A and B are shown apart, each in its own frame.
Chain A
């Protein structure tokens, strides 16, 4: 049996959530270890700053992905019983307002 749209959306959201989790695992904050490798160097200080920045950046990215996945799931929940014609009009309006048309 073919997957229905809400299920497809939930599946996609699940993949995005996995991506978020993986990104947290692979945030490259090890760069801060330069301060141990090159104590007293200029690069040690720059690497510590970058490590903090990257931690924030990659964690922030993962958080954004999670939020996105949650929004997708919410949309999937709303899908059942929705007026598809109205949704199509909504999308067209959104694209128009965003300058796509």
Chain B
């Protein structure tokens, strides 16, 4: 920023800026008036041919360009008007300061700004000090005026430079831009009010509006949100409420994505106000009533939709107002709230907050702040915000669990006298009027849509929008839990720190999150309700299924994978004990124990199929070997246990199987290309394949995926047919080093593998036992044929290929045996 001297500012003529702005205003008006010509100049109907098509395209481009150009003029007009006022004001202040100084007996150098006392020096100390103070006052006044002018110059320069770049891209028409002509000269308050009355102009004009108008829109929007347009309607109908919410939502949607608008909104309502706004929404309507134990939505669907829309829109504002917020201690700006603002918001997370629409003088119903904030998180992607909320939520729920022995979210929490002290307020005695209470309306009102009592689901959903944020959260500081020795209810617990992966996958209480009814108990098995655990599965996939080469990212992914394997397989539940109840004895019975919650097997199967190189190399490298592109170091036995459990799920089994074949072929081909000693490579890779398939097949057997006995049917395929199929499979796997096995070409390879297995009558999802001898023999034959085809594909002699095939069969069987032995 250039320094503005006294001489410079005195030479400036801010009034001329207004003249320039007036001229630009006329130019803009003339250009907006071209709308008529452009409309009349559209390629006419009846004209056909390629010329017509290209003429239409050209016409559209020229019109769109002109709208953007005109929008750019609007930004400059606004900036010139603002600069004219600010510089004019600064110049007046300067001139007043000079006049004042001269009348007080000082001279002011018009070039340098130096102020000299023209009165004779006094010998009186008090007088001298007073003169010096007076002089300093004028110095300050002059400096302030110069600084204000310099700031205004800098702001104007920024707008002019942005306009010069020509990056503006607005939608809408020239007519929309014409609105800016009408708004010129009006106060920011008037402009904001007009624009909020015309939300349809938001997308066209938002980026052309001066900062002060956008700030005013945010403030007026806050007033609209905090006020209630139906305050004078004693008993508003659901239709009236839906209409009022729709109007507000349209206004927020039009302007709320702008950081300046959103920040102004948030600064106006404040952290407490935002929580209060969120607390009102559940009171606008109850979701459902149970008639004959059936979920019947009774709310007006439009009202339900608008309640969800308002929650999403508050999320939009929260996201936009925190866009530039990246670390603790940051001050607020025009474009983001301060870190202190966010800190105050999070401080409300573990407060019990009244639900105003549902409480009365006789009873107050409350939920936790996090439960009210959670619906806003679905569409947020700011890593700092999500991780701050996530850290706080984890701390709160684990501390609560340690103190009360239960989660704060989905069940009522009573004290020793039976008084409700926290947790869910509905579903108890004398709470019939809360039947159908739903906290999160963004996900729908179906029976399978979480009701929002457990806020972790929405947090996971938000983190899912940003893979880096997801990894940061999952690899964040450990959480403290309480464990018990022997008997959970009879022994004193002790505290232990667990990784977040461990806690979320194995220890956290993922309760059902359903809309309640007083006649239905939360624990009623017939009404288990939806779970948020699926959101955890999605999050784990988002965090880990990436081929980002950044070393820090890879380290995080490796950490997450290591923790998944370790935590699931060493958890007390995997050893046959109740959750959080430790015991030395291993009572594992993998047929009846879920190492991984069944609802997560599909997701974890996808993850370990994606990371098939890591899985394969673990079996090549052995126990705790640092392997693969993510430097994981799985315990080989733990990995087998996990794969066995994942193999119980038909889809996970399929992903792992196909990815395992592909990886074995790829690695085999990579090692054999140019090699003269195929024996070692065939042995190693087919053993690894045997380990993987042995584990997943064992899991399928434990889960009774296949029910009937093997029929020992005759195989009607020939060796030639088998070879042909193997050749196709080998041909589908790309040549060369590919560090990541994506799932992109699964369908083709997977289809062939399925066809192969059907040919061999070992259909994995149909009617063959996975551990029958026929099945095992057929798997071995597949391993042999694949190895043989890889060698033939690489130009080895038929004799070498056959020898390798024999070795492949032996190694595959050896791998299977190793896997079975471990389970």
Nearest-Cβ distance from residue B249 to partner chain A, whole angstroms: 34
For the complex, give the distance between the alpha carbons of A23 and B30 in Å. 8
Task: Write out the residue numbers on chain B whose beta carbons fall within 8 Å of the beta carbon of A46.
Answer: 156-157, 160-161, 164
Closest to B156 in A: A43
Among A11, A39, A64, A91, the one with the most B-chain Cβ atoms within 10 Å of its Cβ is A91
Is there contact, CB below 8 Å, between B157 and A43? yes
- Convert A28-43 into 0s and 1s, putting 1 for each residue whose CB lies closer than 8 angstroms to a CB of B: 1011011011111111
Task: Write out the residue numbers on chain B whose beta carbons fall within 8 Å of the beta carbon of A22.
Answer: 30-31, 33-34, 37
Tell me the interface secondary structure of chain B in the complex.
helix
Is there contact, CB below 8 Å, between B49 and A19? no
Task: Write out the residue numbers on chain A whose beta carbons fall within 8 Å of the beta carbon of B24.
Answer: 28, 30-31
Closest to A52 in B: B164
Is there contact, CB below 8 Å, between A91 and B52? yes
Task: Write out the residue numbers on chain A whose beta carbons fall within 8 Å of the beta carbon of B160.
Answer: 31, 34, 43, 46-47, 49-50
- Number of residues of chain B lying within 8 A (CB) of chain A: 59
B50 sits at the interface (CB 8 A): yes
- Are A37 and B16 also in contact (CB < 8 A) when A12-B43, A46-B161, A91-B53 are? yes
- Are A26 and B43 also in contact (CB < 8 A) when A46-B157, A84-B48 are? no
Nearest-Cβ distance from residue B149 to partner chain A, whole angstroms: 9
- Convert B24-36 into 0s and 1s, putting 1 for each residue whose CB lies closer than 8 angstroms to a CB of A: 1011101101100
Is there contact, CB below 8 Å, between B83 and A18? no
Nearest-Cβ distance from residue A13 to partner chain B, whole angstroms: 7
Is there contact, CB below 8 Å, between B8 and A41? yes
Is there contact, CB below 8 Å, between B23 and A30? yes
Is there contact, CB below 8 Å, between B66 and A61? yes
Q: Contact check: which of A13, A27, A41 meets B153 at CB < 8 Å?
A: A41
Is there contact, CB below 8 Å, between B153 and A15? no
Task: Write out the residue numbers on chain A whose beta carbons fall within 8 Å of the beta carbon of B33.
Answer: 22
B42 sits at the interface (CB 8 A): yes
- Convert B208-226 into 0s and 1s, putting 1 for each residue whose CB lies closer than 8 angstroms to a CB of A: 0000000000000000000
Is there contact, CB below 8 Å, between A12 and B48? no
B490 sits at the interface (CB 8 A): no
For the complex, give the distance between the alpha carbons of A39 and B34 in Å. 34
Task: Write out the residue numbers on chain A whose beta carbons fall within 8 Å of the beta carbon of B16.
Answer: 33, 36-37
B821 sits at the interface (CB 8 A): no
Is there contact, CB below 8 Å, between A72 and B27? no
Closest to A49 in B: B164
For the complex, give the distance between the alpha carbons of A27 and B30 in Å. 9
- Convert A50-73 into 0s and 1s, putting 1 for each residue whose CB lies closer than 8 angstroms to a CB of B: 100100011001001100110110
Nearest-Cβ distance from residue B446 to partner chain A, whole angstroms: 38
Task: Write out the residue numbers on chain A whose beta carbons fall within 8 Å of the beta carbon of B163.
Answer: 50
For the complex, give the distance between the alpha carbons of A94 and B16 in Å. 52
Tell me the interface secondary structure of chain A in the complex.
helix
- Are A82 and B49 also in contact (CB < 8 A) when A12-B42, A41-B4 are? yes
For the complex, give the distance between the alpha carbons of A82 and B52 in Å. 13
B231 sits at the interface (CB 8 A): no
Chain B contacts with A in 1-38, Cβ cutoff 8 A: 1-2, 4, 8, 11-14, 16-17, 19-20, 23-24, 26-28, 30-31, 33-34, 37-38
- Convert B779-812 into 0s and 1s, putting 1 for each residue whose CB lies closer than 8 angstroms to a CB of A: 0000000000000000000000000000000000
Is there contact, CB below 8 Å, between B164 and A71? no
For the complex, give the distance between the alpha carbons of A20 and B2 in Å. 39
Chain B contacts with A in 55-76, Cβ cutoff 8 A: 55, 57-59, 62, 65-66, 69, 73, 76
B227 sits at the interface (CB 8 A): no
Closest to A8 in B: B44
Nearest-Cβ distance from residue A95 to partner chain B, whole angstroms: 6
B235 sits at the interface (CB 8 A): no
Q: Contact check: which of A12, A23, A33 meets B20 at CB < 8 Å?
A: A33
For the complex, give the distance between the alpha carbons of A35 and B8 in Å. 12
Task: Write out the residue numbers on chain A whose beta carbons fall within 8 Å of the beta carbon of B8.
Answer: 39-41
For the complex, give the distance between the alpha carbons of A86 and B335 in Å. 57
Is there contact, CB below 8 Å, between B44 and A5? yes
Task: Write out the residue numbers on chain A whose beta carbons fall within 8 Å of the beta carbon of B20.
Answer: 30-31, 33-34, 37
For the complex, give the distance between the alpha carbons of A47 and B80 in Å. 11
25 contacts between A and B (CB under 8 A): A5-B46, A8-B46, A9-B44, A9-B47, A12-B40, A13-B41, A15-B37, A16-B59, A19-B41, A23-B31, A23-B34, A23-B66, A30-B23, A31-B76, A34-B80, A38-B13, A40-B8, A43-B153, A46-B164, A49-B164, A61-B65, A68-B55, A78-B51, A91-B53, A98-B53
Q: A19-B38, A25-B30, A31-B24 are in contact. List 5 more A-B contacts (CB 8 A).
A: A34-B160, A46-B161, A61-B62, A68-B62, A91-B53
Q: Which 10 A-B pairs have the closest CB atoms?
A: A87-B49, A37-B16, A26-B30, A15-B41, A8-B44, A16-B41, A46-B160, A19-B37, A94-B50, A15-B40
